[in-house]
Amino acid sequence: MRNYSVTEFIGFLNAALNEAVFPDGVAIEGEIAEYRVSQGKWIWFLLKDNDSVLPCFGTVWKLKQPIEDGLQVRIYGQPKVHERSGKFSVVVDRVEPVGEGALKRAYELLRKTLEQEGLFDPIRKRPLPKFPRRIGLVASRESAAYSDFLRILGNRWSDVEVNSVHVQVQGKDAIGDIISALSFFSAHPELADVLVLTRGGGSLEDLQAFNSEEVTRAVFSSKIPIVVGVGHERDETLADFAADVRASTPSNAAEIVVPDRIEIRAAIESLRHRLVGRMEQTINDRLTGMDRSVRVMERGIMSSISSFRHRQRDLADAFSLFVDRVAGSVRDLSRLEAGLFTASDLFLTRLSGRLLNGSRLLESFNPKSVLRRGYAIARYQGQPIKDAAAVAIGGRLDVELHQGQVGARVEEIIKSKNQ
């Protein structure tokens, strides 16, 4: 028989327990009792059933799941005899609620804790891009949720790049897979304008990964706006609350992240009709104003002609009186009469020229006439452009030509030298 020191014997027991008897650790189910935290670091509690009690020990940085007395759980850890006290306990690495009631209670405890920390605050939620070019998809590629999301996405807006990361959505690897996928996209923001984390519905036990503190914090910490869509509309997970936008189903997630191309086309067509109608109304208003101006000018011209004719008649009367009074000056009178008619013809000729020039000037003010000569009307945001400073690089211009319109985009702005 070999003799051992106390330290040697306890070391032998621990080696035997952890290397020979329980090399993969132990998983034990029971009810939490006498739960306490010491010095803000050490966690102690008893795990019991109807017949036995098992002391358990852990640390606050490992056991982040909220725990309380009476909670039915499954613990994972290693059995150990402590050298200083000689007492036996299980060093716990992880705690999972067991059963629907325990899962609901654990869910409520964790939800309350995270809500108090501000993880679900609506103020911090970010808007999603209206027209994403790249979508990061975190889902199980073997699931119906994955297929449903891609099908709805393709039906609504096919011109988008989808970069997906396959993950387990339930089971022991689910939490690690999801956290790694979200960390990957946060480290490579060029791969996604928006993230979608999705899975099908299930029981509380099936949805444990999406209700875990680790995944919820990873969703909250995502550097890219994120949508979480889980199962059916009745399913609500903590990851949903931490996301920027919650989708009721995987299909609804697709509806949220991209617009419907049919609706966009209808909106563009409606906008086009309104724009054309407004342009036609503007042109009609201008033409009506020009018509009024022409009528005013015509009245002025006719008034001038009438006045001239009155003056001409007055001159003729005076001329006749002059002839009667100066009968002996026939030769001079004939010369004067010829000069008067010559002056009147010249006046009418000049007046006709002015009328013709005025008519041509009016025609030059007609926008359609200007367009026929090769000019164009450029509009930015529906308004005619008078100053290069009124537009922005990358802005869209609507250019009206004599026949048709073209769309253009501003690539460079060159201001005049006096600006």
Q: CATH number for the domain including 28?
A: 2.40.50.140
Per-residue confidence band for 301, with pLDDT thresholds at 50, 70 and 90: confident
8 against 195, higher pLDDT:
195
Write down the pLDDT at residue 192. 96
Q: Are 129 and 93 in a shared domain?
A: no
**Alpha carbon distance 106, 145 (integer Å):** 26
Q: Give mean pLDDT, residues 232-256.
A: 89
235 against 156, higher pLDDT:
156
Q: Are 127 and 31 in a shared domain?
A: no
> Taking all residues of the chain, what is their mean pLDDT, rounded to a whole number?
85
Write down the pLDDT at residue 8. 84
Q: Are 252 and 137 in a shared domain?
A: yes
- Domain residues for the domain of 386 are 366-419
Q: Are 44 and 130 in a shared domain?
A: no
Both structure tokens of 108: 């409520």
Contact assessment for residue 348 and residue 305, using Cβ atoms and an 8 Å cutoff: no
Q: Quick one: 17 exposed, middle or buried, by C-beta within 10 A (0-12, 13-18, 19+)? A: middle
At 415, phi and psi to the nearest 5? -85, 155
Domain end (from 211, 243, 259): 259
Per-residue confidence band for 417, with pLDDT thresholds at 50, 70 and 90: low
pLDDT in tens, 352-401: 888 888 777 776 666 767 777 778 888 888 888 888 878 888 889 888 88
354 within some domain: no
Contact assessment for residue 246 and residue 228, using Cβ atoms and an 8 Å cutoff: yes
Q: Are 79 and 14 in a shared domain?
A: yes
171 within some domain: yes
Highest mean pLDDT among 104-118, 216-230, 278-292, 294-308: 216-230
Write down the pLDDT at residue 418. 63
Q: Are 251 and 138 in a shared domain?
A: yes
Q: Are 128 and 217 in a shared domain?
A: yes
Q: Are 147 and 208 in a shared domain?
A: yes
pLDDT in tens, 121-172: 999 999 999 999 999 999 999 999 999 999 999 989 888 999 999 999 998 8
Domain end (from 66, 98, 130): 98
SS3 of the chain: CCCCCHHHHHHHHHHHHHHHHCCCCEEEEEEEEEEEEECCCEEEEEEECCCCEEEEEEECCCCCCCCCCCCEEEEEEEEEECCCCCCEEEEEEEEEECCHHHHHHHHHHHHHHHHHHCCCCHHHCCCCCCCCCEEEEEECCCCHHHHHHHHHHHHHCCCCEEEEEECCCCCCCHHHHHHHHHHHHHHCHHHCCEEEEEECCCCCCCCCHHHCHHHHHHHHCCCCCEEEEECCCCCCCHHHHHCCEEECCHHHHHHHHCCCHHHHHHHHHHHHHHHHHHHHHHHHHHHHHHHHHHHHHHHHHHHHHHHHHHHHHHHHHHHHHHHHHCCCCHHHHHHHHHHHHHHHHHHHHHHHHHHHHHHHHHHHHCHHHHHHCCCCEEEECCEECCCHHHCCCCCEEEEECCCCEEEEECCCCCCCCCC
Tell whether the model's pLDDT for residue 194 goes beyond 90. Answer: yes
CATH number of domain containing 158: 3.40.50.261
338 within some domain: no
Q: Are 55 and 135 in a shared domain?
A: no
Tell whether the model's pLDDT for residue 76 goes beyond 80. Answer: yes
Tell whether the model's pLDDT for residue 222 goes beyond 90. Answer: yes
Q: Are 77 and 30 in a shared domain?
A: yes
343 within some domain: no
* % the chain with pLDDT above 90: 30
Write down the pLDDT at residue 378. 87
273 within some domain: no
Could you tell me the CA-to-CA distances from 27 to 39, 42, 101, 105, 201 in Å, in that order?
Answer: 27, 20, 20, 21, 27
Cβ burial 262-276 (10 Å sphere, 16+ → b, else e): eeeeeeeeeeeeeee
Residues 6+ apart with CB under 8 A from 418: none
110 within some domain: no
Write down the pLDDT at residue 419. 58
Tell whether the model's pLDDT for residue 233 goes beyond 70. Answer: no
**Alpha carbon distance 227, 239 (integer Å):** 9
Could you tell me the CA-to-CA distances from 395 to 272, 273, 344 in Å, in that order?
Answer: 17, 21, 59
Q: Are 126 and 30 in a shared domain?
A: no
Lowest mean pLDDT among 65-79, 240-254, 330-344: 330-344
Tell whether the model's pLDDT for residue 290 goes beyond 90. Answer: no
Domain end (from 98, 114, 130): 98
Say how many residues make up the chain: 419
Residues 6+ apart with CB under 8 A from 406: 399
Write down the pLDDT at residue 240. 94
304 within some domain: no
Report the candidate in 236, 133, 245 with the shortest Cα–Cα distance to residue 190: 133
Lowest mean pLDDT among 8-22, 134-148, 236-250: 8-22
Report the candidate in 225, 215, 229 with the shortest Cα–Cα distance to residue 143: 229
149 within some domain: yes
Tell whether the model's pLDDT for residue 2 goes beyond 80. Answer: no
Work out how many domains the chain is built from and give that number.
3
Write down the pLDDT at residue 340. 74
Per-residue confidence band for 206, with pLDDT thresholds at 50, 70 and 90: confident
Write down the pLDDT at residue 178. 96
Q: Are 27 and 65 in a shared domain?
A: yes
